[in-house]
Structures are given as structure tokens and as C-alpha cells.
């Protein structure tokens, strides 16, 4: 006998879980089915090196989740179910090869002192930007939180025009279309300040010269100054475990190790799913697929030629390699001990180097000088490691999902099985140059290659942690395809959610929450 739910959700990433909880709160009976043995997708935590050392598998920064409309609506319930968040007052910094550094703290005087050491003019510019952020934030956050429909977008534009006038609205439009380099070079004079902020664009597939990327270095910089960062107590999976418990407490079901092999249709309407074990699960009101677009035609057996083509042509960003390190102590940063007090230390020396790294990865080459995002979560959450010990969370950006060669001509392997260790050694050598003696402090190590990320979570195609490029042609009204930014599909009652759907990547649960509100009538 088929199991019956109001809504059946495929995948237990944070977007599908957010949608499931909101629908449950509105009285829907939901069933969530996840192919992996552990729920969470990219948001999970485990002892991947040594016992007692807890590492975030992919996502570490939970700021978007903590500040999201979803958490505002359901945060109290999640807190009761054990969700614990840790505030971070020094969110990010950068270490540079000349032995200098720059960083952002929620203490404006501290940030200005770091900037002033490099450029008094840039410190004054930063202070001016911060003073105006309160006036600019409603427009930008309003855009990112809007439903991406013509009517909603037109309303946003009208509100912006009324608030800013014609000239101000055109200035905002120009900013939204600008590349990170264009905005950073117009705004700051010192190359290190430009690199400090430009590194954030690389988190979302916005290399320095990609149009439409200026907003992300700006927002991350201003939000870091104003609010800091948030991480999960004990690991990012505190969010997933609380979502899991909340859904079950409301009568919902969440199954892991349950692979969906087919979406069942009846007369152009989605009516349920079929699992690998042969079970059929009936959905009375909605099937919600938290999957990468390319997987949808396979599960449905086809929709319309135009929609299926759009799903199959959905473009993914370059991949990421993760290096999880159990540490005897924090790195001794050559630029100064102050770097030990920041959650993120970027090693991305210049805009030119970021641009080169990105192009190499896009061409299928192992970059000669990959960008490193070195996370130091135990500075703020000692519970993630035994007493006095630490974990390092190292993202190696960028890395090709399929290797065609090595930009440095040192690694001959073109398969990740053989290339992983030497490429990791290249990354660790870069870290060692910025923090001498780091290698000697490593107690345990786990390398996770782009193919391993995809094998664990098929949404991370080629190790793409943001589930799809956010370039202008695949963002806003076009994410994942024109006419479907709300997650709709040509099949009635079938909806797509996740990072591939507007508003895209990050831990804010935006696509899942927007979809659930639409289905439940808010």
C-alpha cells in the first residue's frame, strides 16, 4: 500500500527541510526522502579526521540562515529543538605574501585601524560606506528577498525609484551590473583592500571580471562589519538536526538512505515518487524536488522539450576541494597573531591572481595558485575539538571537476584519485608560506575532492558547492530558467527548490521558504 502525504520532498538539504517545516506548520503532512545516509546535503558535520574533531563538510558560515525570514518565522521552534548558533565578531580577513594583512571586525575602530595601516584614504572610504549601508541595505536585501516574477520585480523597481529618484536608481542598476573589479577599483586604491573584498565574489562564482558580481563583495563586507558572522555550535549540522526534529515533532517523516528513482505522473500532474526499494509514496498536493536541474528530466521521464533543454543546459560553477585538518594548535600567521582571531582567513593575494585561478579552473586545469579559504571555527566554538586543539576548514577554490591538465605542469594525473594528494600538497604549501610550521601541527587530515562531493551529494555537480553559476544569464529571472524562478515546472504540482532556484546559493533557505509560502498561501 502506498504511503500518503500532502507533500513529498526529494532530498534533505536545508531548503527542502525549511519548506517541509513551514508546510508542516501550516497543517500539511510532509514526507522527506534523502538518498544519503546523513541529512543536510552540504550543511552537515562529522568527525572526518580523528575522534573528537568535528568538521563542517562543506558549509560553515550560517549568517544567511540566522538573518533569514525563515529563521525569523521558525527560529524559536528550532531553538527549542536544539539549534544553537555562535556569534562571530571577527568574520574575515586576508593574509598577503608581503607579510601584511587586512580584516573586518564588528568593532569599526578595529577595522579602520587595519585599513588605515594600508591606506588612510581607503579607511575613510570604508567609514563612509558603512555610514550609508543602513540606507542602501533595504534596496539590496529587498531585491534578494523578492519573488522573482515580473510583477514583484516591477514593484521593487517602483519602490526603489520613489526612494532614490531616477539618478539614484540608475546608479544602483549600474552597480548591480558591475564586475567586482570595476567596483573595487573605482572605490578603493590599495590592491590588498580590493583583494580582501574581492575574495568574496569567488564564493559565488564571481571572478573579478564577471559582470553582476560587485554586489557580493559589497554585501559581505558591509554585513560582516555590521553583524559579524554566525556559525553553528558544535557544527553547522545543528541547523539540520533541529529541522529534522521539528518536522518529526509536527508529524512529518524524514527518511535517509532512501533513493528516489522516479517521479510519478498522472495526466500531466505529479502524484508521488517511487523509491529504489520499490515503494510508492503518494503526494496529494505537491512533489518538491530539491535536486540539481539536470536530474529533473531523468526523474520525470521528460516534461516539455524547451524546459528539459533548459534543465540539461544549466551551467555549473567550477568545483571546490575541501581539506579538513585536525590541529594541535592554530596556525602562526606570518602577518601577525591577530589573524588567529578571525573566522575566515582568505589567501587570495590579488584580483589578477583570482582571475587567473578562475580561468585555469574553467579550462579544466589544476590552478597553479589556488585560492584558499581557511576557516578557524574553534576560535569561537571550542566544542568542535578536544581541549586546546583545533580544526581547520580549508576550501581550495577553484578546482575543475574534470581535470584536463595542470597549469603548473607538475601534476601529471588527470584523475582525481591520483591528483588529490599532490594538489592538496600545493594548497598546504601555500598555507605553510603564510603560516610557517602549520604542517607540523597537523594531527589528522581528510581530503575531499570534487567528485567525492558530488558522489555524496549529486547536487554538487563537479564539486560545485553553489549548485550552479550565478552569472547574470542564470540569475534573477533566469534561475534556473526563464519563467521558472519560482520553482515551477511544466508538470502540475511538481516544484524545484534548492540553490539552483532563485535566490540561489547560501544557507538562507530562501528558495525553500518562498516556495512553501506560495504553496501554503503564506
pLDDT above 80 (res 154): no
- Average confidence (pLDDT) over 307-332: 98
Q: For 22-34, write each residue's pLDDT tens digit.
A: 999 999 999 999 9
> What confidence score (pLDDT) does residue 140 get?
82
> What confidence score (pLDDT) does residue 303 get?
96
Q: Copy the grid coordinates of residue 442.
A: 597537523
Phi, psi of 424 (to 5 degrees): -65, -40
pLDDT above 50 (res 89): yes
Of 442, 425, 445, the C-alpha closest to 433 is 425
- Rounded to an integer, what distance in angstroms lies between the CA atom of residue 63 and that of residue 90? 13
- Rounded to an integer, what distance in angstroms lies between the CA atom of residue 489 and that of residue 122? 47
> What confidence score (pLDDT) does residue 136 get?
87
Q: For 419-460, write each residue's pLDDT tens digit.
A: 999 999 999 999 999 999 999 999 999 999 999 999 999 999
The three-class DSSP label of residue 386 is: coil
- Average confidence (pLDDT) over 274-285: 97
- 80's CB contacts (< 8 A; 6+ apart) are none
Give me the residue label for grid cell 538536526.
241
Q: Copy the grid coordinates of residue 447.
A: 581530503
pLDDT above 60 (res 228): yes
- Average confidence (pLDDT) over 465-491: 95
> What confidence score (pLDDT) does residue 2 get?
59
Element (H, E) at 459: none
Of 93, 56, 55, the C-alpha closest to 347 is 93
Give me the residue label for grid cell 585599513.
115
Q: Where in the chain is the domain with CATH 3.90.660?
A: 318-456
Q: Are 512 and 14 in contact (CB under 8 A)?
A: yes
How many CA atoms lie within 13 Å of 450's alpha carbon, on the beta-carbon side? 27
The pLDDT > 90 percentage for the chain reads: 92
Of 312, 306, 302, 285, the C-alpha closest to 495 is 285
pLDDT above 50 (res 251): yes
pLDDT above 50 (res 35): yes
Question: Across 358-515, where does the E strand assignment appear?
Answer: 365-366, 371-375, 390-399, 405-406, 442-448, 494-496
How many CA atoms lie within 13 Å of 422's alpha carbon, on the beta-carbon side? 16
How many CA atoms lie within 13 Å of 370's alpha carbon, on the beta-carbon side? 31
Report the CATH architecture of 318-456: Alpha-Beta Complex (3.90)
Question: In degrees to the nearest 10, what's the CA dihedral of 111, 116, 194, 508?
Answer: 10
Of 95, 122, 133, 186, the C-alpha closest to 372 is 95
Question: Across 339-482, where does the E strand assignment appear?
Answer: 344-347, 365-366, 371-375, 390-399, 405-406, 442-448
pLDDT above 50 (res 512): yes
> What confidence score (pLDDT) does residue 155 get?
67
Phi, psi of 442 (to 5 degrees): -75, 120
Q: How many residues does the chain have?
A: 522
Q: Copy the grid coordinates of residue 492.
A: 502540475
- Supply the pTM of this predicted model: 0.95
- Rounded to an integer, what distance in angstroms lies between the CA atom of residue 376 and that of residue 251? 38
Q: Which fold has domain 3-86+235-314+466-520?
A: FAD/NAD(P)-binding domain (3.50.50)
Give me the residue label for grid cell 558580481.
213
* Ordered alpha helix ranges (H), 145-251: 150-177, 180-187, 191-203, 215-227, 237-249
pLDDT above 50 (res 123): yes
Mean pLDDT of all residues belonging to the chain: 96
Q: Are 207 and 188 in contact (CB under 8 A)?
A: no
Of 232, 128, 228, 272, the C-alpha closest to 188 is 128
Of 16, 19, 55, the C-alpha closest to 34 is 16
Q: For 489-502, write each residue's pLDDT tens digit.
A: 999 999 999 999 99
- Rounded to an integer, what distance in angstroms lies between the CA atom of residue 6 and that of residue 29? 5
- Rounded to an integer, what distance in angstroms lies between the CA atom of residue 73 and that of residue 145? 14
Q: Where in the chain is the domain with CATH 3.50.50.60?
A: 3-86+235-314+466-520
**How many CB atoms neighbour CB 427 within 10 A?**
24
Characterize the bridge pairing of strands 55-56 and 365-366: unpaired
pLDDT above 90 (res 79): yes
- Rounded to an integer, what distance in angstroms lies between the CA atom of residue 16 and that of residue 300? 18
- Average confidence (pLDDT) over 164-188: 93
Comparing 94 with 152, the larger pLDDT belongs to 94
pLDDT above 60 (res 1): no
Q: Are 126 and 378 in contact (CB under 8 A)?
A: no
- Rounded to an integer, what distance in angstroms lies between the CA atom of residue 124 and that of residue 216? 21
- Average confidence (pLDDT) over 274-282: 97
Q: Copy the grid coordinates of residue 132.
A: 550609508
- Rounded to an integer, what distance in angstroms lies between the CA atom of residue 384 and that of residue 277? 37
Amino acid at each position: 500500500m502506498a504511503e500518503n502525504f500532502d507533500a513529498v520532498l526529494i532530498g534533505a538539504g536545508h531548503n527542502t527541510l525549511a519548506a517541509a517545516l513551514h508546510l508542516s506548520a501550516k497543517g500539511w503532512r510532509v514526507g522527506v526522502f534523502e538518498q544519503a545516509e546523513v541529512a543536510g546535503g552540504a550543511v552537515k558535520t562529522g568527525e572526518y579526521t580523528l575522534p573528537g574533531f568535528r568538521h563542517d563538510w562543506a558549509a560553515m558560515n550560517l549568517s544567511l540562515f540566522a538573518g533569514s525570514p525563515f529563521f525569523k518565522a521558525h527560529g524559536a521552534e528550532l531553538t527549542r529543538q536544539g539549534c544553537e548558533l555562535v556569534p562571530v565578531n571577527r568574520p574575515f580577513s586576508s593574509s598577503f605574501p608581503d607579510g601584511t594583512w587586512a580584516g573586518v571586525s564588528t568593532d569599526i575602530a578595529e577595522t579602520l585601524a587595519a585599513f588605515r595601516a594600508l591606506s588612510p584614504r581607503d579607511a575613510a572610504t570604508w567609514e563612509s560606506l558603512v555610514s550609508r549601508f543602513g540606507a542602501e541595505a533595504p534596496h539590496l536585501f529587498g531585491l534578494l528577498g523578492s519573488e522573482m516574477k515580473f510583477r514583484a520585480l516591477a514593484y521593487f523597481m517602483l519602490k526603489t525609484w520613489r526612494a532614490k529618484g531616477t539618478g539614484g536608481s540608475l546608479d544602483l542598476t549600474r552597480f548591480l551590473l558591475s564586475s567586482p573589479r570595476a567596483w573595487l577599483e573605482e572605490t578603493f586604491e590599495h590592491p590588498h583592500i580590493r583583494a580582501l573584498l574581492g575574495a568574496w565574489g569567488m564564493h559565488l562564482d564571481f571572478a573579478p571580471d564577471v559582470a553582476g558580481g560587485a554586489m557580493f563583495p559589497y554585501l559581505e563586507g558591509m554585513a560582516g562589519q555590521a553583524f559579524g558572522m554566525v556559525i553553528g555550535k558544535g557544527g553547522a549540522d545543528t541547523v539540520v538536526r533541529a529541522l529534522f526534529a521539528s518536522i518529526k515533532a509536527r508529524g512529518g517523516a524524514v527518511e535517509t538512505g532512501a533513493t528516489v528513482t522516479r517521479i510519478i505522473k498522472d495526466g500531466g500532474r505529479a502524484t508521488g515518487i517511487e523509491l529504489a526499494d520499490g515503494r510508492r509514496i503518494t503526494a496529494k498536493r505537491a512533489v518538491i524536488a530539491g535536486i540539481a536541474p539536470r536530474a529533473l528530466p531523468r526523474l520525470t521521464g521528460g516534461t516539455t522539450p524547451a524546459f528539459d533543454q533548459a534543465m540539461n543546459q544549466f551551467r555549473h560553477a567550477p568545483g571546490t576541494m575541501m581539506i579538513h585538518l585536525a590541529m594541535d594548535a592554530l596556525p602562526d600567521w606570518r602577518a601577525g597573531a591577530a589573524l588567529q582571531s578571525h573566522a575566515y582567513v582568505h589567501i587570495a593575494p590579488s584580483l589578477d591572481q583570482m582571475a587567473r585561478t578562475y580561468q585555469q579552473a574553467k579550462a579544466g586545469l589544476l590552478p597553479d595558485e589556488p585560492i584558499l579559504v581557511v576557516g578557524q571555527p574553534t576560535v569561537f566554538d571550542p566544542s568542535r575539538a578536544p581541549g586546546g586543539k583545533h580544526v581547520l576548514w580549508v576550501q581550495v577554490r577553484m578546482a575543475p571537476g574534470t581535470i584536463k591538465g595542470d597549469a603548473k605542469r607538475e601534476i601529471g594525473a588527470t584523475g582525481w584519485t591520483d591528483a588529490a594528494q599532490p594538489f592538496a600538497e600545493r594548497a598546504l604549501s601555500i598555507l605553510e608560506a603564510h603560516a610557517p610550521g602549520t604542517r607540523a601541527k597537523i594531527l589528522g587530515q581528510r581530503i575531499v575532492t570534487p567528485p567525492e562531493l558530488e558522489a555524496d551529494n549529486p547536487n554538487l555537480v563537479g564539486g560545485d558547492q553553489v549548485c550552479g553559476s550565478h552569472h547574470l544569464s542564470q540569475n534573477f529571472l533566469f534561475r534556473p530558467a526563464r519563467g521558472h524562478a519560482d520553482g515551477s515546472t511544466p508538470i502540475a504540482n511538481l516544484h524545484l527548490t534548492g540553490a539552483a532556484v532563485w535566490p540561489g546559493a547560501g544557507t538562507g533557505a530562501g528558495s525553500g521558504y518562498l516556495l512553501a509560502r506560495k504553496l501554503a498561501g503564506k
